[in-house]
Structure 1
């Protein structure tokens, strides 16, 4: 039996969302946008942090309003729910 190997490019929805966020943040800040935290600018895919968050001091958003101030939190419909209540904060 002869084994054959094939290179198959793999692209997931999660990777598309990641690179969309990275390039959106890059273009947004290049055009003068001011609502991207350091995580967003660095291409780190963690969402749910306030605009004031830095790489050394992350501040979790406690409401939807806190979260959407950072452009990277809002681009894929990120929601923060109130724990135990199933409601959007």
Structure 2
């Protein structure tokens, strides 16, 4: 007597999710009612830098040199918090000069 056994393939499905939390966007000139965000030093209308941008880092992230200047962070050198190559136009290691 011969017995033949056929096994069905096993398929596992894995779903991964990522949660990203960002600070509220502050628009210059917008009314700053209760709970409004302010920039460094508490001055309203100055956007606070975004933090991390999904990298798990706590370094500030500036979307533009205007944001870095408004926050008092410019110029930034390689190694400084907030420095990134996208803000260093002439690639000399100094951003937003």
Q: Normalising TM by the smaller chain, what interval? A: 0.3 to 0.5
Q: Return the structure number with greater relative CO, CA threshold 8 A, min gap 6.
A: 1
Larger Rg, first or second structure (1 or 2): 2
Give me the TM-score of the superposition, normalised by structure 1: 0.34
Q: Which has the higher helix share?
A: 1
Give me the TM-score of the superposition, normalised by structure 2: 0.33
